[in-house]
Amino acid sequence: MAALALNLLIFLPLLAAVVVWTLPERRQALAPQLSLAVSLVGLALAALLLVGLPGLARDESGAALIGEARAEWIVVGERAAGGLRDGVILRYHVGLDALSAPLIALTALLVPLSVACSFTAVRHRVREYYAWLLVLTTGMLGVFAARDVLLFYIFFEFTLVPLYFLIGIWGGPERRYAASKFFLYTFAGSVITFAGLLYLGIRAAQIDGLSVIDFDLVRLSTLSLTQLSTTEQSLLFAALFCGFAIKVPLFPLHTWLPLAHTEAPTAGSVLLAAVLLKLGTYGFLRFSLPMVPHGALAWAQVMGVLAVLGIIWGALCCWVQRDVKKLVAYSSVSHLGFCMLGMFSLLPVGLSGSVLYMVNHGLSTGALFLVVGMIYERYHTRDLDQLGGLARQMPVLASFFVLFVLSSIGLPGLNGFVSEITVLLAAFNSDVLGPWYGVLGATGILLGAVYMLYAAGKVLFGPLKEPPGTPDLSAGLRRDLTGREIAILAPLAVLVVVLGVAPRLVTDPLDGALQSQILDRVHEARAASAIQHHPAYAAEVHPLPDGRGSEEWYTTALFIGPEPGEGGPP
Amino acid sequence: MIASATFSVLSPAAYATLPFWPLLGAVLAGVLIMLRARPQHAHWPVVLGVALSAALAVTLFVDLGQNAEVTGSTSVTESPSLSGRGQGEGESGDPTAALELGRRASSGFSHTLYGWISLGEKISLQNRQWLSVSFHFDGLTGMMLLFVTVVSLIIVVYSIGYMRDHHGVPERGYERFFAFLGLFVFSMCMLVMAGNFVLLYLGWELVGLCSYLLIGFDYHRPAAAAAAKKAFIVNRIGDFGFAVGIFALYYFLSGCAGPGENPLDYAVVFKYAPHLADADSGFLGMSQATLVSLLLLCGAVGKSAQFPLYVWLPDAMEGPTPVSALIHAATMVTAGIYMVARCTPIFELSAGALDVILTLGVIGAVLTATMALAQYDMKRILAYSTISQLAFMFVGLGCRVPDSAVFHVFTHAWFKALLFLGAGSVMHAMGGVIDVRRFSGLRHVLPWTCGTMWVGCLALAGFPLLAGFWSKDEIVHAAFERHVVVGVLMLATAGLTAYYTFRMFFLCFHGKPRWPEEAGHPHESPRVMLVPLVLLALGAVLAGYLGVRFAPGRDSFLGLFQPHGFFHSYLGHSTIGHPDHGHGGLGLMYLSGAVAVGGIVLAWVRYGAAPEVDPDRKLLGGLWNLWHAKYYVDELYDDLFVRPLRNFGRLLFATDNRGVDGVLWLITGVPRGLAFALHFMQRGVLKTYALSMVLGLVLLMLLWSWMA
Amino acid sequence: MLGAYVLLGAVLFVLGLVGFVVRRNLIIMFLCTEMMFQGIIINLVAFGRYPLAGAPSFDGQVFALFLIAVAASEAALALALVVLLFRHRRTLDANALTLLRDE
């Protein structure tokens, strides 16, 4: 039952896309309604699936999935009596676990909103537009649900295509350049990631002594660590880094983002910021950390430095923008820096804060893009110098804008604060990173207030400034928000408050899975490398029987050599 | 950690609802906005909510007092002192001191509502630590809540009259104003009641938000919008330090906390605070206590508008006057003092940090008192005097008498709120004009306002027997005990305070009656504004008597009063404990009284007739101009920090476009160059393609045959 | 025998190839490709009839039939395209049609 629901959740939008695309021209007006209906059904299905989440959190083994569906899809190789030999297996294997559930929920929530926000904004090639939006939905949901690494990669790349068209056809004046840059940039990176994943799959088969290469997610993330050398893991981490870091985007690989965001239509920006950037962070969480923990450890400080640089760099760039959409885009660079900082603190608080940050960033930045889109629809400009004093004209919009700005700058009581403080606390206390990372990251709190209030002040406050001939209300808009627009923003506003007061709705189900699937792996790797590099520490933390691992034992082993009958250092 | 004594009147759960009633009121007012109802009665939900909290706060105050009598056996005078002045840090090893500290850490009760954020644990998830929504009740909480809620209630009632025009029609945004006020009272109560540092930070930021929203209430005026932004951002600079201080506390103490102890709860932090005293922080050779204290201090300096972050407060006067009274005089700006007083167990471990507080306080007091001498905007004069008084409180904190500082917070709230509301009443009558040069002789048209303002000015000036006198005297006294230079400077500032306060008063209310044309026919404010003024005036007279004892004798002031009364013993049942105030100093009381009177007399001599030409300006010339321009500090900050940072941002953005993208351009240059090199093959001529295909085929065949 | 057939096929193929490369009229070029097809078909049939190893089979002839069908449908399509092209550009000179060139 749950499996059916999950499959429907993923593929119903794809089916609907075909239907929407092939609607006859005179039924064109049905396209938005149909898409909205389908995405709402998706939201209901997601809600249905998430009911099982608390049960999942109680499951100790951590292997259970919601809505698991599994089938062999592409099988290459020799069929023999004992099964397949010398082949490759690609499975269609989907299911929700605690790590992917929040992101699935986020996606399912934001799709109907971004469909609804396009009703008046998109007026040409309508059927195509909604079809691409639905195709994108399938891609995004598939990525998070995939339990097979190759399947993940297929969905991962699959999301590029619809977004390429969404930006390239319905975007702003520089849409073609933006679309190509976005596509090539992210694609170039993920090809290297793909190579890394392939290598990992092949090595996994070697290590386990199997003749069949398969890309099962769990199998790859529970490989014996001793078989994969530290160098190998570091290189693999670097390979995975290429695709994921560009997607995040991590400084200095972020330059595609402002352009893509600025040129994309509102719905594209919303989904890009809220969901597609999370593919990168999710990739790091799901692949880099558990599959190559030694590599993650070796790279953690580099990641921390890049994250902190991104926080500050993005924030300062925000401050000098004139285009408010570009400003929000740069704020994503800064925010995602927080997310990565928490993740690579490698502490439970940091990891759960990081996942919470993904959700919160999706909500507040998605909402900001929606609000900016609504302003743009009326004024046809996003130039901060051409707008001003809109609060008096549009009090409802102004209230929402201020609320989301406050959420974005981490005002306590709203969602952004909880993730920000846990992430910074983790970075500060982490023994991989350290206090300075926390301190420098915390400057982001300060700078965030500076640029966000700068933007809000310019747009909302002061004397009224409108470009001549605006607001353009030809699409049936009102000066202030219409009922439809309020209905789009209200759920986000509610969640922003609810998650600020009760963040444990997200983090509680996560903790067990983070511990068993990621942190245990990382600690195993740490203990192993500690034994190699810091015998004293290792002896203290993980004392081995018969004094092995103690300092004296190592000194003896190092200078005299192991005694007969005793193994060398593990 | 949690004392076993319970409340006798209401249950802790009932007291825990205290902050939420104004919030409920604010939400209801918000609903009224959404329903687009007529705003005429929009103030009711908020007034009722605040009134309910005030009632709860009074009950709590009484309740805590009874508890204190039951549990606390030590009285004020013979309490063992922890922190003798000038003895430095060496004491923390003293066993009686540790005992005292432990007693103070466990003073009060806490009540937990729910676990808010899970902090996990360093290695595993077992033995999880929480950040809870929990409240802490002790003497300090009770005292703060008492005046915060009561003064708020008075000011909210005043606003009902103030936020209307002369015909009683509500101003634009009337509901919004009350909704924000309700939100503010909620936030302030959260700040005061918070049981751990993160919840304190929550209240801290939320009051900052309300300040932002209310300063920018008239958002279409660029000055108001800019002032709101400036207030929020300058506060955030302090909050940055505050947040890092909280991280550092967690960093240093999370290892100490035993099972079931949440490492950022007050009780836990103060219990283990002695560990911070001698441990090295690894940063510039400071002890952990010094580092944490200085970081927390950053927050206090921002919120309480102290040097060097005071610049936002004068600008904040762009907000409506009730806001200036409530947020920027009586309550929010004292949050910094409250926080430092709350963290006494940490601050007293670091003589260095206390000296920093003292220095900042002295600089701020003198600097802003001089600036206040040369202003004409009535509200700005009051704003500078607020900074100056807050600096007095800082000096009190720095001299290890936090209870005197809190006492001054308490008395200051009454008379400063009174002064601002009086100024508001003047402004209301003058049609929004607030420049003291443009009117005079108002005592004839605004008799009630004038009378209550007179009381407020006397209290601020430190006139004997009024509220300001008692509390200010304690601080001056402590300053003299600390160092004679500090004492003299404080006394001089007190004289200046009396002088500029009455300069303003005489310019407004004395001289020949005249007013600007905006005023029309000025008349006294409605009763809904005058009753609050009278109530606050009563407070300005009486509030000080909470802190003195009626003890006739030869060694008492005027033969009647002894310092350190009920207030101090009440506060003793909190993390502040009973600081040592030293003895004697009766002469100083007479001296400070004389200085106040002297300042007033001097103001009378120079400004008693409300001269149209400012005599000080003529007398002081360039110095006066420097004061009038506020020492050019705003411009200095702009040139020193804001613009360079913004330019740096421009540089980074340019680097993004040229540098970072440039590198990418270089990388993509490889395929680009290859494409250019092979570009001749793509001329679109079909036959070239065919020919090259044939040639390729031939080449392949040759290759194949050669290999075979 | 095989040699003769293969030679014939090769001659046809090369004729077509040379014609395709040197002629400029699209219709002639198209006819030349058809000639290359014929050369290949002859080869297929010849190798089917005289296989290098094993017994002769009809495989080659079956392929030939398929190829003829493909060539016919392709001819229909291509000629239609050529006509359209001529209507648009008023020329069939292959050297003048360089829309696919790299700018």
Find which of B676, B681, B686 to mutate to test the C interface (most C CBs within 10 Å of its CB): B686
Q: Across residues B313-333, what is the average pLDDT?
A: 90
Partners of B129 in beta bridges: B120
Angle among Cα B704, B708, C4 to the nearest 5 degrees reads 75
CA atoms within 13 A on the CB side of B189: 30
Q: What pLDDT, on the 0 to 100 scale, is given for residue B107?
A: 66
pLDDT digits (tens, 9 = 90+) for C15-38: 999 998 888 888 999 999 999 999
By CA distance, what is C18's nearest residue in B? B691
B477: exposed, middle or buried (Cβ count in 10 Å: 0-12, 13-18, 19+) = buried
Task: Tell me the C-alpha distance between C103 and C100, whole Å.
Answer: 9
CA distance A70 to B108: 59
Residues 6+ apart with CB under 8 A from A406: A414, B209
pLDDT mean over A259-283: 92
Residue C75 lies in a domain: yes
Q: pLDDT of B522-564, one tens digit each?
A: 888 888 889 999 999 999 999 888 888 888 877 777 777 888 8
Q: What is the mean pLDDT of residues B410-428?
A: 92
Residues 6+ away with beta carbon under 8 Å from B377: B317, B434, B435, B436
- CA quadruple A16, A22, A24, A29: dihedral, nearest 10: 40
C23 occurs within a structural domain = yes
Apex A304 CA angle, A303 and A308, nearest 5: 115
Detail the DSSP E strand segments found in A58-153.
66-80, 83-96
> pLDDT tens across B386-410, in order?
999 999 999 999 998 898 999 999 9
Query: pLDDT tens-digit profile of B591-634?
Result: 888 999 999 999 988 888 877 778 878 788 888 888 888 888 88
Q: Are residues A365 and A483 in contact, defined by beta-carbon separation less than 8 angstroms?
A: no
Mean pLDDT, chain A, rounded, equals 86
- Planar angle of CA A229, A520, A292, nearest 5 degrees: 30
Whole-angstrom distance, CA of residue B587 vs CA of residue B584: 8
The arithmetic mean of pLDDT across residues B211-230, rounded, is 90
Does C94 fall in a domain? Answer: no
SS3 B136: strand
Residue C74 lies in a domain: yes
The CATH number assigned to the domain holding C85 equals 1.10.287.3510
The domain tally of chain C equals: 1
**φ, ψ (nearest 5 deg) of residue B196:** -145, 170
DSSP state of C100: T
Which of B437, B201, B448, B414 has its CA nearest to residue B300?
Answer: B201
Please indicate, yes or no, if residue C99 is contained in any of the structural domains: no
Tally of CB atoms within 10 A around C42 = 21
**Selected residues 179-238 of chain B with any CB under 8 Å from a CB in chain A:** 198, 201-202, 204-206, 209, 212, 216, 219-222, 224-226, 228-229, 232-233, 236-237
What pLDDT is recorded for position A506? 87
Tell me which of A56-65, A558-567, B440-449 is least confident.
A558-567
Q: Does the distance separating the beta carbons of C99 and B690 come in below 8 Å?
A: no
Distance CA B46, CA B58 (A): 18
A470 or B316, which is more confident: B316
Per the structure block, which two tokens stand in for C27?
């219709």
Using the structure block, give the residue that is written with the tokens 């049960």.
Answer: A55
Torsions phi, psi for A70 (to 5 deg): -145, 130
- Ranges B128-137, B179-188, C66-75: which has the least confidence: B128-137
Does any domain span residue C103? no
**Domains of chain B: which residue ranges?**
398-628, 649-707
End-to-end CA distance of chain C: 52
Chain B residues closer than 8 Å to A428 by CB: 244, 247-248, 250-251
In order of A52, A118, A201, A458, B287, the CA distances from A477 in angstroms are 41, 12, 53, 23, 62
Q: Express each pLDDT in A282-315 by its tens digit.
A: 999 999 999 998 889 889 999 999 999 999 999 9
Peptide bond into B12 cis (omega under 30): no
Q: Residue with structure tokens 């005299």?
A: A560
Helical pair B335-342 and B139-162, crossing angle rounded to 10 deg: 170
Q: What are phi and psi of B434, to 5 degrees?
A: -130, 0
* Range with top average pLDDT, A86-90, B108-112, B586-590, C72-76: C72-76
B534 part of contact set with chain A, CB < 8 Å:
no
What's the rounded mean pLDDT across residues A137-150? 93
Chains that touch A (3 or more CB pairs under 8 A): B
Report residue B336's pLDDT band, with 50, 70 and 90 as the boundaries: very high
pLDDT at position A441 over 50: yes
Tokens representing residue A457 in the block: 């002040």
pLDDT recorded at residue A519? 85
How far, in Å, CA of A413 to CA of A177, rounded? 41
CA A348 – CA B121 distance, rounded (Å): 7
Selection from A263, A285, A278 nearest residue A110 by Cα: A278
Cβ distance B682 to C97 less than 8 Å, yes or no, reads no
pLDDT in tens, A150-183: 999 999 999 999 999 999 999 888 888 899 889 9
CB atoms within 10 A of CB A264: 29
Instruction: Classify residue B118 by its DSSP letter.
Output: E
From residue B93, alpha-carbon distances to B85, B89, B96, B346 in Å are: 16, 9, 9, 14
Q: Where does the pLDDT of residue A535 fall: very low under 50, low under 70, confident under 90, or very high at 90 and above?
A: low
Distance CA B494, CA B385 (A): 10
Please, which residues 69-128 of chain B have a Cβ atom closer than 8 Å to chain A?
Answer: 115-125
Q: CB count, 10 Å around CB of A169?
A: 17
Q: What's the whole-number mean pLDDT along residues A212-228?
A: 83
User: Which residues, other chains included, contact A227 with Cβ-Cβ below 8 Å and sequence gap of 6+?
Assistant: A207
On whether the CB atoms of residues B421 and B455 are closer than 8 A, the answer is no
Rg of chain B in Å (alpha carbons): 31
Distance (Å, rounded) from C-alpha B291 to C-alpha A518?
Answer: 35
Mean pLDDT of A353-365: 94
- The boundaries of the domain holding residue C24 are 2-89
The pLDDT tens digits for B257-270 are 777 778 888 888 88
Task: State the average pLDDT over residues B89-114.
Answer: 58
A69 bridge partner residues: A94
Q: What is the CA radius of gyration of chain A?
A: 25
Residues of A (408-427) whose Cβ lies below 8 Å from B: 411-413, 417-418, 421-422, 424-425
**Measured between alpha carbons, how far is B319 from B321 in angstroms, rounded to an integer?**
6
- Reported as a single tens digit per residue, the pLDDT across B481-534 is 888 899 999 999 999 999 999 999 998 888 888 888 877 788 888 888 899 999
